[in-house]
Chain A
Amino acid sequence: MTQTPSSSGQSPKRRESAVSRFLNATELDTRLLGMVAALAMIWIGFHFFGLFKTGFGAFLTPRNLWNLSVQTASIGIMATGMVLVIVTRNIDLSVGSILGFCAIAMGMMQVHILPQYLGLGHPAIWIITVIFGMAVGTVIGALHGWLIAYLAIPAFIVTLGGLLVWRGAAFLVARGETISPVDSTFALLGGGPYGAVGAMGSWIVGLIGCAAVIYMIIAGRRKRKTFGIPQRPVWAEYFLSALGCGVIVGAVLLVNSYYWPRGIVRAYAAENNIEIPEGGLFISHGFAIPVLILLGVGIGMTILMNRTRFGRYVFAIGGNPEAAKLAGINTRWMTVKIFALMGLLTGLSSVVASARLGSATNALGTLDELYVIAAAVIGGTSLAGGVGTIYGAILGAFVMQSLQTGMVLVGFDAAMQQIVVGSVLVLAVYLDNQYRRASK
């Protein structure tokens, strides 16, 4: 069948362009590059838009980019879970409401309940609260998963119902009141000057990151050698190492060049009896704790998806649910676990969001489901199921948050923001279709 002479006579090996040779050698994902390019365009676009409009480009500043990283954390954490949900051909429209409900539940716990028994400011309060919040999210997610898997109610309907139910429940529990202030240790999980690891801590994180990049490249080479898989050219390995470490070091330099506001430095100096020198005291923020949480979640979820049976089954169910069942996978129980995991991550995201706000309101997380789904889809998760990556979803969250932040910076009003975000979601799915057709 392969012997049929082709009349067109096209030679099978066309001459490759330099670009495609480069991409082949480095095995860089073109989709990843596309997203990075989109991100760069958004950043530069908003920066110069601001520059021309007001004479000041506020986007590409350490302060804005640091804030952007913190704001991305909450959406990004949930987006990693949404990847699993969408890969298995489901959807979760309720994450924003679950986030709000968890925030209220945690607010009640740490403000009204725990201090009664432990005393105000007890060091265990934040730990119990965080575990409680994540447990609430997990239970709600598992309930949704059970309704979907065992009662065969479509995920769209279950979570659309959940969108209303949990927002309403959050209102009832708090009777519409804002609960504050959160525990002071808990508040650190939301970032801010004290909720960041500082210059030294950031360098340590960065160096560990660089070591991990180099280790992965060396281990990858060794593995390919053992199993006789063709190696990347050595220059490509060096290039990838340099690129990986360069991005990490760049990020460290960036977060370390954003200094504490003067007022906080003064308070801090007074408290610790530090003399503020002539030129002023500069204390770096460094990586914010929520960003490190997102990083940890990203690494953990990537391992889960690519290195465990659970992850393999997630992809198998997305590719062919029938085949997964026939292979002995308990697809219903998997659905419960996937939604429970989504709930757990939503609970964690709720920790970050309410800690950042310093209080819990029942409106927290409104419209987050839209951003989270958009992040996953922009990051390459196919709504047809079976395809998606964790790093893509996190990058997608960065793209969505950059858009949001940029629009606020240049002064778009809420109505305009909604129009843009909605359009971007639709456009992203269209571009995704085109990309898949082209790469077939």
Chain B
Amino acid sequence: MSNSEQKTPLVVLRNISISFGGIKAVDDVSLDLYPGEVVGLLGHNGAGKSTLIKILSGAYEADSGEIWINGEKAEINSPRDARDYNIETIYQTLALADNLDAASNLFLGRELVSRLGTVDDARMEAETRKIMARLNPNFKKLKEPVSALSGGQRQSVAIARAVYFNAKILIMDEPTAALGVHETAMVADLIKELKAQGLGIFLISHDTREMMELCDRVSVMKNGQLVGTERVEDVTEDDILSMIILGKNPKREAA
């Protein structure tokens, strides 16, 4: 993305802060994301990564700061608002209703309905079958509650839900944490494919190598604050690791 600077950013998070009972979980963080770009978020446990993206996905409301989408100021006060901006999220916790089957989870909150207004389970199941065939061909347990699925299968359902509805902005909070080697590779391919389609993706992961491979830029957080954002071609894996561990940006220190 050499010319990304000329385009309007898809997302701008400006001076976002939120605290929980005195703890500043996110402290004055600014980030941007361009179409067709993958921005990685790194940082130790509790650094504030999930909290930051939950503000974008409408799960939390920021105490201060602004969100801009496509160059316009956006009001995101609920998950529904985020959806209206074509933001889809894979939550770290997956956010699945364990007692419902894969199709009901995939369409939760936007069920397909028949002309009578009743939920069309058969059509939802057929659609789920289709998308799961793309993401995880081994997935067969369509009729069972997702509590009966393995961790990786559950994760596939959460990914399918985010991908199905033609998002423009995709947030993936540790999407491969529970996946096997093969499934992880499939998700990596999926990310590349979606990126090529022009989606903007925020990706959170603890796997620095994976991040170096998939992301265009990486941002590192520590204790709620942004340590720095770098293009992956400008830094080494060691640079990123030291940013995470020391909370200092080696390039800026040198300058």
Contact = CB atoms under 8 A, between A and B. Distances in A.
B177 interface: no
B118 interface: yes
Contact of B96 (A303, A307, A320): A320
Contacts of B145: 319
A387 B145 CA distance: 11
Nearest to B84: A328
Given A325-B79, A327-B108, A223 B122 contact: yes
Interface string B127-147: 000000000000000000100
B95 A322 contact: yes
B126 A323 contact: no
Contacts of A308: 117-119
| Interface size range of chain B in the complex | 20 to 34
Task: Please classify the interface of chain B as helix (H, G, I), strand (E, B), loop, or mixed, using the class held by over half of its residues.
Answer: loop
Contacts of B113: 309
Contacts of B97: 315-316, 318-320, 323-324, 386
A52 interface: no
A320 B100 CA distance: 10
Of B98, B117, B125, the most chain A CB neighbours within 10 A belong to B98
Contacts of B239: none
B32 to A, nearest CB: 24
Interface in B197-211: none
Interface in B53-109: 57, 59, 78-80, 83, 89, 91, 93-100, 104-105, 108-109
A221 to B, nearest CB: 13
Contacts of A327: 79, 95, 108-109
Of B109, B110, B125, the most chain A CB neighbours within 10 A belong to B109
A320 B117 CA distance: 24
Given A319-B99, A328-B83, A387-B99, A312 B122 contact: no
A309 B104 CA distance: 10
A227 interface: yes
B46 interface: no
Interface string B158-180: 00000000000000000000001
Interface of A: 1, 223, 226-227, 303, 307-309, 312, 315-316, 318-320, 322-329, 386-387
8 contacts: A312-B104, A315-B97, A315-B104, A316-B97, A320-B98, A323-B108, A326-B95, A386-B98
Given A319-B100, A320-B98, A327-B95, 11 more contacts: A223-B122, A303-B118, A309-B111, A309-B119, A315-B97, A315-B100, A316-B97, A323-B95, A324-B97, A327-B108, A327-B109
The 6 closest A-B pairs by CB, nearest first: A319-B97, A319-B99, A327-B109, A386-B99, A328-B80, A323-B95
